[in-house]
A and B are shown apart, each in its own frame.
Chain A
């Protein structure tokens, strides 16, 4: 593995001395996200940098190389009755853990189990000087130095090449059950939030196609007792439904070319219902909108709902695709980028045109 690191390191140094740019590629399954990659950049592939470095189920901590596929990780965890609680979407067999962290994607359990950002404990990173650095660690609590590991979540590889990740894993729940009932969208927002405020084992709350779905998981007795108390009928193929939502294979996501907007807002917030198709996940904190719109028109709506919006997939990806930043935060993010990658080698323009 030392060889692979050396290879990656050489590629970074080579790019640096030849004024080349690098497009960091994990599994290549999330190319549709972010802004269109710089066509001039050279590919820096993590595909060979794979494997579990350390896994002690009793510690609830897993350390893996960044190019390892989610598929492999999930198989190894399943053997021990454990899982990635944040339920990362898999857009294909090749999805890697590095790309998952860089894009900060999480599945339906996000409000209860946290995101990949919440579960990451430490990383190793190649910065723009080709230095291989270690941040955070393999323990749940660590406040020595700045939290550079979590900073990578959502940075889309603009700060460096993540080569290794340590993260928290959790036991798989003993039982899972899904309740479904018909409900209008506005009512569903309130309903899902009210349920989420009760001390019951909810791990999913989603609304799509005029139906609200609640997932219960945990100890069998608790799940069954709650299902009995709450309204809704028990779904036969509940787990498969959540899987489709997690991997964005649900019918709602069917049309790959139409622009898909993602609102990350206050879970109980009112958001104007524009013409088009809507879906709500995370008890209302994540809302999907499929329809034609301009980012600049949606931003004020998202802001009024306490959050932000991005063009998740489809549409024009040569302009800005994620919520704009106030000037003062632009300045800080440019300087942070500069501090990791002074020659702007990594994924130029992938996140914002100005970064």
Chain B
């Protein structure tokens, strides 16, 4: 075996500068600063070096060097991630894919697009529009986030109940492995021979390889889309209405729910004309052919009325549809206006537990003395509770974080999971020990080792070490006992 030679910062930088434009090998603190976190700014770390290669060969060489010297590598797209997945490693390299922003080709006949990893999600649909096509997965961050980051997080959006997540819309990915091999997973065909390594890569949070090219499926733009806005006097009623539509055999293109605090904040923010007295609001979009949409809209409206909607409004044209969605789409910044800070959680539950989980969440909200607003993908049970807090008040972020943990554990308790689309990253690594047992986590580590024997890709993220889990579990146990005792002595 080769002796392990860990290179110094200066040595590494020199190695990189031998084949990457020196301007794009960043080593000074001031220029490194913008890379210290992703969208979850509470977690920060300056990296050793940031590189911005311009060709796949350069990416490959970076990986080979880091593999040889056992240097951690964190791939980075647009840095919009919300679980600190792209947060740098202090002894590692940030490998930015920002320069890979070209759409390599759109094939309208076979309805596919070949993309470099740094292409922005929205840019795909914009470029495909002249052919009457679009890219299905539409994370709310789509103006900024990259397709490479989407693959790494298996990103989803409003459309995914009907059109699937990233994994369902991906045909192939070219990947540079931790060892610097260039491989293609998948093909232009709908499925490929052997193990489905493409599925394994999708959602692996940059832990299995660096994506350098992807081919995605494009869908025909629906002839028409209309949205029904329905207000309800309780979360339960709105939840039943969601089930009602689906049970009726209608799969909406989007089905979103907001609770009272979110309705008011969003309406204040953009004057969408939401029913401010409602306790829950549903936005149900139906898309398809003219005939199909008018048939289903009529059926869904009737159903909502029957199931107790207190107000109903259906978009008559594109402007009105955009207005009704505007409130939902700007719900996060809207909530941002009513609170100095907010912490966006991401957990998924079986839909039938919606009311139960929201009621319990309200209870926990009281215990912590922090407000929570809810905006979520009702169609697929993906919750996004926004915990309101003030980072300037000492201890409030810690409280928000603890509240967030409780919510995730609640999701697992009803058979859901700790992340629907934001990933585990650093943020939710503790809760992995709640969702998975030791053997399962060990299996994940073994899978990781199959791709990255030295563990240089995004170390410390995604899957916790078993030691960490044991410590976390025993801590939980102690706290739990402590709380119980407290209650007893009460």
Contact = CB atoms under 8 A, between A and B. Distances in A.
A137 B416 contact: yes
Contacts, number: 287
Contact of A146 (B185, B247, B352, B447): B447
B206 to A, nearest CB: 12
B190 A219 contact: no
Contact of A336 (B112, B177, B382, B447): B447
A150 B199 contact: yes
Most buried by B among A269, A329, A338: A329
A145 B444 contact: yes
Interface stretch (B22-30, B118-126, B154-162, B301-309): B154-162
A194 interface: yes
Contacts of A70: none
A315 interface: no
A286 interface: yes
B381 A151 contact: no
Nearest to B166: A143
Interface residues on A, range: 35 or more
Given A154-B191, A197-B133, A264-B190, A140 B160 contact: yes
A110 B185 CA distance: 19
Interface in B382-434: 382, 415-424, 428, 432
A325 B446 CA distance: 22
Contact of A151 (B191, B200, B441, B463): B200
Interface in A297-355: 305-308, 310, 322-323, 325-326, 328-329, 332-333, 335-336, 338-340, 351-352
Nearest to B199: A150
Interface in A153-167: 153-155, 158-159
Contacts of A226: 289
Interface stretch (A4-12, A57-65, A89-97, A237-245): A57-65
B193 A154 contact: yes
B220 A222 contact: no
Interface residues of B, number: 95
B189 A285 contact: yes
A200 B295 CA distance: 15
A139 B291 contact: no
B449 A335 contact: yes
A104 B196 contact: yes
B417 A144 contact: yes
A259 interface: no
Listed residue (B109, B222, B463) with the most chain A CB atoms within 10 angstroms of its CB: B109
A286 B111 CA distance: 15
Contacts of A56: 350, 352
A176 interface: no
A151 B443 CA distance: 13
A104 B200 CA distance: 15
Contact of A142 (B109, B289, B420, B450): B420
A225 B420 contact: no
B420 A199 contact: no
B164 to A, nearest CB: 7
A339 B446 contact: yes
Contacts of A196: 111, 220
A336 B450 contact: yes
Contacts of B220: 196-200
Contact of B195 (A135, A151, A269): A151
Interface string B197-208: 101101111001
B251 interface: yes
B249 A138 contact: no
Contacts of A268: 107, 109-110
A81 B432 CA distance: 36
Contacts of A152: 196
A142 B348 contact: yes
Contacts of A201: 288-289, 292
Contacts of B203: 143, 146-147
B195 A154 contact: yes
A83 B253 CA distance: 19
A341 to B, nearest CB: 11
A340 to B, nearest CB: 7
A190 B111 CA distance: 12
Contact of A150 (B156, B167, B246, B381): B167
A75 to B, nearest CB: 18
29 contacts: A58-B352, A117-B199, A133-B443, A137-B416, A138-B415, A139-B380, A139-B381, A140-B348, A141-B160, A141-B348, A141-B377, A141-B421, A143-B419, A143-B424, A144-B419, A144-B436, A148-B444, A154-B192, A155-B195, A155-B196, A171-B246, A171-B249, A193-B109, A196-B111, A197-B111, A199-B223, A221-B291, A269-B110, A332-B450
Interface of B: 107-112, 131-133, 153-154, 156, 160-161, 164-165, 167-168, 177, 181-183, 185, 187-197, 199-200, 202-205, 208, 220-223, 243, 246-247, 249-251, 288-292, 294-296, 348-352, 377, 380-382, 415-424, 428, 432, 435-436, 439-441, 443-444, 446-451, 462-463
Q: 10 tightest A-B contacts by CB?
A: A306-B188, A307-B189, A264-B189, A150-B199, A141-B420, A266-B188, A339-B446, A335-B450, A221-B291, A171-B249
Given A218-B289, A285-B189, 4 more contacts: A81-B249, A115-B191, A198-B220, A265-B188
